[in-house]
Amino acid sequence: MPLESNARIAKELARHGYNAEREAITLLASAPDSAAAVESVVDHAPDDALRITADHVRTVTTDRPVSDTDPAPTGSNPSPSGAESPDSGSRSTHESSPTRNTDKSAPESPKGQSPVEIGGSSSNRGSDSASNRGSGSGHHADATAEGSDTAGTAEGSNTADTADAPHHGPDLRELEVGNDMTGRSTGTGEYADFVRTFRDRYERLSKVLRGRVNHRPAEAIAEMPGGSDAAMIGLVNDVRSTKSGHWLVELEDTTGTFPALIMKDKGLADLVDEIMMDECLAVEGTLADDSGILFADSLHFPDVPRTHRTGAADRHVQAALISDVHVGSDEFMADAWSRFTDWLHTPEAEPVEYLLLAGDMVEGVGVYPDQDEELEIVDIYDQYEAFAEHLKEVPADTEIVMIPGNHDAVRLAEPQPGFNDEIRSIMDVHDAQIVSNPATVTVEGVDVLMYHGVSLDEVIAELPEEKASYDEPHKAMYQLLKKRHVAPQFGGHTRVAPEERDYLVIEDVPDVFHTGHVHKLGWGKYHNVLAVNSGCWQAQTDFQKSVNIDPDAGYAPILDLDTLEMTVRKFA
């Protein structure tokens, strides 16, 4: 089975200091004696080459008697991919997958096993995710099943794709990063920096709400005659319940604070559960007779408009959204990772041109007490070296974007800038883009907001279980979208580094919101925005065992950038 060795070939080439095109690797893998082929490619590669191209390989392999490659570049591909495609084709139809999964995985040799596609944690719950998944599989069927099921007839669209776009011309790619604050941390930890940060939050988020209510500053409201209608936009300063079971929400703007009373029987009380400190809200209502308090009639979150229109790639191209690799931990799942990177070398994975990593590349040092006892690799630089090695298994022409997480060697306070030069130089293989947490990555027209997700812990702790839980992390993400801020609450779990602006505000509505951190897989759509929390590559740790958290490890959500549908593949 040549396929399984794709990643190994890439690694082998990397050991010799070469990066390699995906096609080159495919060619090498299909050579009768891959190892020899690799060796001779290395021997014959031009001195100045950094990257092994398909041409290099052909030059070498055509010297040999094996007469295959030339006329149709896909000629060598069909046999392996053809053999595989019925599996993958049928697997992509979700409904049948459970039984098929077991059928397939058992008899096959572990090496030859191709990834199992699964429904993911959210598939059984919540109507929105269900429909999402439904259409997802539908789409996938379009892409592959049609061809492979009808067997011989031209290998379907799969091969056609490959033929049409011979290994993704980089020229078609578009990738832009917004909101990156790496190298732009201007805060010096002064009081004024904090004030500036919160003011910026207020200004940008109040803008979102301004059209919806006829707001007045706190100062002005206090001067208004009792009984008049008033509205205010402010950051939540305090929420408490009154003796009689009503809720008092104190809002603050740049002129002062004003309390709003939310009656328990008004139907708004439910929303109070969702309110977190320091998020931006609008309240509309009637002033009390003494103008001392506002009786709330309605409550507005900045929210994502229901009319949000998403961008899309104008070709069939995919991005893998992963996070929490935790290289260096005793529990890092190297095998699952290799299965994933192997799969990336298969034709099936050819559209996957982007890899977006939402933090925690490594397990880090000193993250919790006595961590060194649970580290496979104790040296932080060695951890990044090892991570870089694992990253080399990813096809060389994949575009990679990563942000740091709370285990990485950057400051814990958010926003977190991308890695320093020392660590970047360790991971320079793929020329990956390393940007801040959070950052918005625009991939061929699709805006992906990447955030590691530390605030999810807090959202889950503060909100009622049905609105946010570890089992459905995407629902906690909906709340952040609704608040248009990735970590609203100050003073709790989330740490804030003051900067000249609040980089944590979600000013522009993204098309995809990608987080990690909680090691649970979950996705769903909220007002047309796809929220994905992408699981991890670290098996259950002793700590997780002690608090009974069962992580979703070894999953790779794959996003179609042209349709924004998603499928999740399992590699563990």
Partner 1 sequence: MRQDDERYFARIEDRLDEAWDVAEAAKRQGHDPKPEIEIPIARDMADRVENILGIDGVAERVRELEGEMSREEAALELVTDFVEGTVGDYDSRAGKVEGAVRTAVALLTEGVVAAPIEGIDRVELLENDDGSEFVNVYYAGPIRSAGGTAQALSVLVADYARSLLDIDEYKPRDVEVERYAEEIALYDKETGLQYTPKDKESKFIAQHMPVMLDGEATGDEEVSGFRDLERVDTNSARGGMCLVAAEGIALKAPKIQRYTRDLDEVDWPWLQDLIDGTIGKDGAGASDEAAADADGEADAESAESDDTGDDADDATDGGAADSEAAEPDGPLRPKPSQKFLRDLIAGRPVFTHPSESGGFRLRYGRARNHGFATGGVHPATMHLVDDFLAAGTQIKTERPGKAHGVVPVDSIEGPTVRLANGEVRRIDDPEEAKEIRNGVEKVLDLGEYLVNYGEFVENNHPLAPASYVYEWWVQEFEAAGADVQAMRDDPHIDLEHPDVDEALAWAREYDCPLHPTYTYLWHDVSVDAFEALADAVAAGDVVEGVLALERTETTQHALESLLIEHVATPDALRVPVWRPLARSLGVDDGLRKTWEAGDISAAAREWDDGENAVKAVNEVAPFEVRERAPTRIGNRMGRPEKSESRDLSPAVHTLFPINEAGGPQRDVAEAASVMDDTGHRGRLDLEVSDRVCPECGEHTYRAQCPDCEIHTDLHYECGDCGTVCEPDEAGRVECPRCEWEVTAATRQEVDLNDAYRSALGNVGERESAFEILKGVQGLTSRNKTPEPIEKGVLRAKNGVTSFKDGTVRYDMTDLPVTSVRPEELDVTADHLREIGYETDIDGEPLRHDDQLVELRVQDIVLSDGAAEHMLKTADFVDDLLEQFYDIPRFYEVNERDDLVGELVFGMAPHTSAATVGRVVGFTSAAVGYAHPYFHAAKRRNCDGDEDCVMLLMDGLLNFSKSFLPDQRGGRMDAPLVMSSRIDPSEIDDEAHNVDIAREYPREFYDATLEMPDPESVEDLIQIGEDTLGTDEEYHGFGHTHDTTDIAMGPDLSAYKTLGDMMEKMDAQLELARKLRAVDETDVAERVIEYHFLPDIIGNLRAFSRQETRCLDCGEKYRRMPLSGDCRECGGRVNLTVHQGSVNKYVDTAIEVADRFGCRPYTKQRLKVLDQSLESIFEDDTNKQSGIADFM
Q: Which residues bind partner 1 (CB under 8 A)?
A: 183-192, 194-195, 198-199, 202, 235, 237-238, 252-257, 277-278, 364-366, 370, 372-373, 378-381, 409-413, 417, 420, 461, 490-492, 494-497, 542, 547
Determine the 3-state secondary structure of 566 from DSSP.
strand
Q: Tell me the closest approach of the beta carbon of residue 542 to partner 1, in angstroms.
A: 8
Nearer to partner 1, 279 or 393 (CB): 279
Nearer to partner 1, 207 or 411 (CB): 411
Q: Tell me the closest approach of the beta carbon of residue 19 to partner 1, in angstroms.
A: 29
Nearer to partner 1, 397 or 408 (CB): 408
Nearer to partner 1, 138 or 256 (CB): 256
Q: Tell me the closest approach of the beta carbon of residue 480 to partner 1, in angstroms.
A: 18
- Integer Cα distance of 13 and 165 in angstroms: 24
Nearer to partner 1, 498 or 522 (CB): 498
Nearer to partner 1, 152 or 191 (CB): 191
What does the chain come to in residues?
Answer: 572
Residue showing tokens 């992390």: 473
Nearer to partner 1, 28 or 218 (CB): 218
Strand partners, 557: 568
Q: Tell me the closest approach of the beta carbon of residue 497 to partner 1, in angstroms.
A: 5
Nearer to partner 1, 142 or 203 (CB): 203
Q: Tell me the closest approach of the beta carbon of residue 256 to partner 1, in angstroms.
A: 6
Q: Tell me the closest approach of the beta carbon of residue 490 to partner 1, in angstroms.
A: 5
Nearer to partner 1, 39 or 500 (CB): 500
Q: Tell me the closest approach of the beta carbon of residue 186 to partner 1, in angstroms.
A: 5
Q: Tell me the closest approach of the beta carbon of residue 514 to partner 1, in angstroms.
A: 24
Which amino acid, residue 466? E
Contact yes or no for 521/121 (Cβ under 8 A):
yes
Query: Which of 501, 439, 449, 502 has its CA nearest to residue 480?
Result: 449
Chain centroid, CA 97 distance in Å = 25
Q: How far are the Cα atoms of 174, 205, 216, 230, 416 from residue 253, in angstroms, in the given order?
A: 40, 12, 10, 15, 27
Q: Tell me the closest approach of the beta carbon of residue 471 to partner 1, in angstroms.
A: 12
Determine the 3-state secondary structure of 438 from DSSP.
coil
**What secondary structure letter does DSSP report for 141?**
I
Nearer to partner 1, 353 or 462 (CB): 462
Per 3-state DSSP, what percentage of the chain is helix, strand, and coil (rounded to 5)? 35, 20, 45
Nearer to partner 1, 336 or 409 (CB): 409
* 283-315: burial string, b at 16+ Cβ within 10 Å, e else: bbbebeeebebbbbbebbbbbbeeeeebbebeb
Q: Tell me the closest approach of the beta carbon of residue 17 to partner 1, in angstroms.
A: 27
Nearer to partner 1, 166 or 217 (CB): 217
DSSP per-residue codes, 332-354: B-HHHHHHHHHHHTSGGGTTEEE
Query: Which of 408, 477, 413, 445 has its CA nearest to residue 319?
Result: 445
Nearer to partner 1, 340 or 419 (CB): 419
Contact yes or no for 281/491 (Cβ under 8 A):
no
DSSP per-residue codes, 280-320: EEEEEEEE-TTSS-EEEEEEE-----TT------SS--EEE
Q: Which element (helix H / strand E) includes 176?
A: strand 175-178
Question: For residue 198, how many other CB atoms are within 10 A of its CB?
Answer: 17
Q: Tell me the closest approach of the beta carbon of residue 270 to partner 1, in angstroms.
A: 15
- Integer Cα distance of 359 and 318 in angstroms: 20
Q: What is the CA radius of gyration of the chain?
A: 26
Contact yes or no for 24/4 (Cβ under 8 A):
no
Which residues does 169 contact at the CB level (< 8 Å), separation at least 6?
A: none
Q: Tell me the closest approach of the beta carbon of residue 337 to partner 1, in angstroms.
A: 24
Largest CA distance in the chain: 96
Q: Tell me the closest approach of the beta carbon of residue 57 to partner 1, in angstroms.
A: 41
Question: H-type helices in 92-182, by residue range?
Answer: 97-105, 127-140, 146-149, 156-164
